Amino acid sequence: MEDSFRCVVCGNPLANKTKLSARYCDRGCRNKAIDLRRRQETLRRRNENERVLQEFSMWMAGFQLDLLRMAPAEAGGYRLGLWTGQMMYWFPSLLPSQVYRQTLHRTRTQDPFFSLHPFEPPIVPLVAHYKVQFVQNIPPHPDLPESDKAWWLKVPYALPHRRLPFNLKAVPREKR
């Protein structure tokens, strides 16, 4: 009986007095399992950017060409707006306490927009339709006036964002 129930971490047999649902022989093994799970989650989050860059490289190349074709001559970057049902929320966003933000290439920047030169792929929290807004390349980087027709596009990937001022589930379904 003892041989059939073993600790999933160290492989030692579990004592007869433990519950049938027990998976670990002691707290040390349980803590090792929790630590291992946390490390795997951290590695998964770190590798998420590389996965998105590889999986959606064709979409990003087409998007870059479309952006450069649609951008006015004085554009230095772009922002993507998500309609939340009550307001347009623009990405990238910097909180008042933030000085830098991470790019998809895992570099830091102070710019409150995605760069056109060199091209910076967008980081958005939801697979949805976003409105494209170009910003001027001369500081303080004001928004450029919109053309006659607004340009909406669907970004086919999502990356986690922290501290959004709205609930992602509140985004209207027709904008997803």
CB neighbours of 175 closer than 8 A, spacing ≥ 6?
A: 82, 83, 128, 129
Over the Cα atoms of the chain, what is R_g?
23
- Rounded CA gap, 73 and 149, in Å? 17
Cis bond upstream, residue 140 (ω within 30)? yes
State residue 2's pLDDT score: 44
Tell me if 155 sits within 8 A of 111, measured CB to CB.
no
Distance CA 76, CA 133 (A): 11
Structure tokens given for 22: 């027990």
Within this chain, do residues 103 and 50 fall inside the same structural domain, yes or no? no
pTM for this prediction: 0.76
Structurally, the chain folds into a number of domains equal to: 2
* pLDDT at res. 148: 63
Q: Which parts of the chain sit beneath pLDDT 70?
A: 1-3, 148
How far apart, in whole angstroms, are the C-alpha atoms of residue 97 and residue 101?
Answer: 11
pLDDT digits (tens, 9 = 90+) for 62-79: 999 999 999 999 999 999
**Last residue of one domain, picked from the residues 54, 79, 98:** 54
Q: Identify whether residues 28 and 115 lie together within a single domain.
A: no
Q: Is residue 31 located within the same domain as residue 49?
A: yes
Query: Residue 153: in which H helix or E strand, if any?
Result: strand 152-155
- Whether residue 103 sits in one domain with residue 26: no
The answer on 153 and 76 residing in a single domain is yes
The domain in which residue 39 lies consists of 2-54
